[in-house]
A = this chain, B = another copy of it.
Amino acid sequence: MQRGIGASSAGRGGRVYTVLQQAIVDQALPPGTRLPEDSIGAQFGVSRTIVRAALQRLAADGLVEMKVKRTATVARPSLEEARAVFEVRRCLEREVARLVAEKWNDGFAARLAAHIAEEQQAADGGDSKATVRLAAEFHVKLAGMSGNPLLVRYVTEVVSRCSLILSVFGRPHQSECAIGEHRTILEALAAGDAARAAAAMDHHVALVERRGVGGETAAEPDIGEILARYLPLAAVADA
């Protein structure tokens, strides 16, 4: 599993799209980062045409913001957007759980068990980047088992956006998906209990949301307040 979340289409533009998407969900490119078409094109050895197409796709996915005549930036989701995305995600993933339970077979069980083992290994090894990526892939893999390509597309999109959201609102270096919760889902599916699987999934997504966005209103990152917190340090540095 070298690939990230989305298997891209066009050979050339697809590369740019995939790399950018991975970089964004991996938080290698934090929200607000400028994404000038020229420099990115130079980086990849392609023209602006290609980069532009990739950025437009990313914008459609909600991962980058493209305002007219302004340099594209990595999206900085608002709290409302975050809630909206999680709301849709819960709805979609409940359906995924239902459908996968319906179509359940031993191959699924084996694949998911292997995936969870991989997650455990990454977590044990302290590889937090891999942990986050594998957690997201768990959900996409599950969606794939529903046999519904549109559902896969939507889940992929919504999971990616959740990663971005967590990078804005979540406490850093916190594993978003408790592996145990994935195990619980797998168990419910293996038991052939669609309702329990859907409930477990719903609960899991709710927990991810709570861990990431938090129960309170948590206010937009206020630049003034942040700087104020640094004033004492500046005073020390001055002395």
Q: Name A's B-contacting residues (CB within 8 A).
A: 10, 53, 56-57, 60, 62, 68, 81, 84-85, 87-88, 91-92, 94-95, 99, 148-151, 154, 158
Q: Which of A10, A62, A150, A158 has the most CB of B within 10 A?
A: A150
Going nearest first, the 9 A-B pairs with the smallest beta carbon separation are A91-B95, A84-B148, A88-B150, A84-B150, A88-B151, A87-B148, A85-B150, A84-B149, A60-B60
Verify B10–A88 contact, CB threshold 8 A.
no
The minimal Cβ–Cβ distance linking A239 to chain B, given in whole angstroms, is: 49
The minimal Cβ–Cβ distance linking A52 to chain B, given in whole angstroms, is: 8
Q: Kindly state the separation between the CA atoms of A68 and B13 in the bound complex, as whole angstroms.
A: 12
The minimal Cβ–Cβ distance linking A87 to chain B, given in whole angstroms, is: 6
Verify B10–A84 contact, CB threshold 8 A.
no
Contacts of A10 in B (CB 8 A): 68
Q: Kindly state the separation between the CA atoms of A81 and B151 in the bound complex, as whole angstroms.
A: 11
With A56-B56, A57-B60, A60-B60 already in contact, the answer to whether A91 and B88 are too (CB < 8 A) is: no
Q: Kindly state the separation between the CA atoms of A57 and B61 in the bound complex, as whole angstroms.
A: 11
Q: Kindly state the separation between the CA atoms of A158 and B85 in the bound complex, as whole angstroms.
A: 17
Contacts of A68 in B (CB 8 A): 10
The minimal Cβ–Cβ distance linking A160 to chain B, given in whole angstroms, is: 13
Whose C-beta in chain B lies nearest to the C-beta of A85?
B150
Whose C-beta in chain B lies nearest to the C-beta of A83?
B148
Whose C-beta in chain B lies nearest to the C-beta of A161?
B150
Q: Kindly state the separation between the CA atoms of A84 and B87 in the bound complex, as whole angstroms.
A: 21
The minimal Cβ–Cβ distance linking A140 to chain B, given in whole angstroms, is: 15
Q: Kindly state the separation between the CA atoms of A122 and B157 in the bound complex, as whole angstroms.
A: 37
Contacts of A81 in B (CB 8 A): 149-150
Contacts of A62 in B (CB 8 A): 150
